[in-house]
C-alpha cells in the first residue's frame, strides 16, 4: 500500500490551488488531454492557460514550479482516487470542489 501524503505541504498547496483554478476555469478535460511537446504548460499560449491563470491564488510560482504544478494537476485529474487520498492525508477531510457558474 502506498503511503500518503506523497506531496509536501508546500507542493500540496500549489497543486490544490491549481486543481481549484482548473475546475473554476472549466478546463479539466483540456488539462487532462494536454500534450504539446513543443511548449509544455510553461510556454503554452492557449486561451485556456490564461483562464486557469486568472483563477490561481498562489502568487509564488516560478516558471518551473508552475509547469510542475500543472503536470501534477494533469496526473491527479486522471487519477482522482489518488487525489482524494492526497487531500484526505493533508486535511483529514474530503476535498471541497468549488462550484462553477
Q: What is the pLDDT of residue 95?
A: 56
pLDDT at 59: 83
Contact in structure between 69 and 62 (CB atoms under 8 Å) = no
Q: Which pLDDT score is estimated for 76?
A: 98
Q: Does a structural domain hold residue 100?
A: no
Q: How many domains does the chain have?
A: 1
Residue 19 lies in a domain: yes
The pLDDT profile of the chain, 101 residues, written as one tens digit per residue, is: 468 889 999 999 999 999 999 999 999 999 999 998 889 998 999 999 999 999 999 888 888 899 999 999 999 999 999 999 999 999 876 555 666 65
Structural domain includes residue 54: yes
Is residue 97 one of the residues assigned to a domain? no
Residues 29, 43: Cα–Cα separation, whole Å: 19
14 in a structural domain: yes
Task: Give the range of the structural domain holding residue 14, as residue numbers without chain letter.
Answer: 9-91
Count, residues in the chain: 101
Give me the pLDDT at residue 12, please: 95
Amino acid at each position: 500500500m502506498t503511503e500518503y501524503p506523497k506531496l509536501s505541504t508546500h507542493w500540496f498547496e500549489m497543486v490544490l490551488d491549481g486543481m481549484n483554478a482548473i475546475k473554476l476555469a472549466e478546463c479539466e478535460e483540456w488539462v487532462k488531454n494536454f500534450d504539446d511537446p513543443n511548449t509544455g504548460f510553461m510556454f503554452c499560449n492557449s486561451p485556456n492557460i490564461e483562464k486557469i491563470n486568472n483563477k490561481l491564488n498562489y502568487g509564488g510560482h516560478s516558471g518551473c514550479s508552475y509547469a510542475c504544478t500543472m503536470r501534477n494537476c494533469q496526473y491527479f485529474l486522471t487519477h482522482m482516487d489518488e487525489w482524494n487520498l492526497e487531500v484526505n492525508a493533508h486535511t483529514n477531510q474530503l476535498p471541497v470542489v468549488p462550484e462553477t457558474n
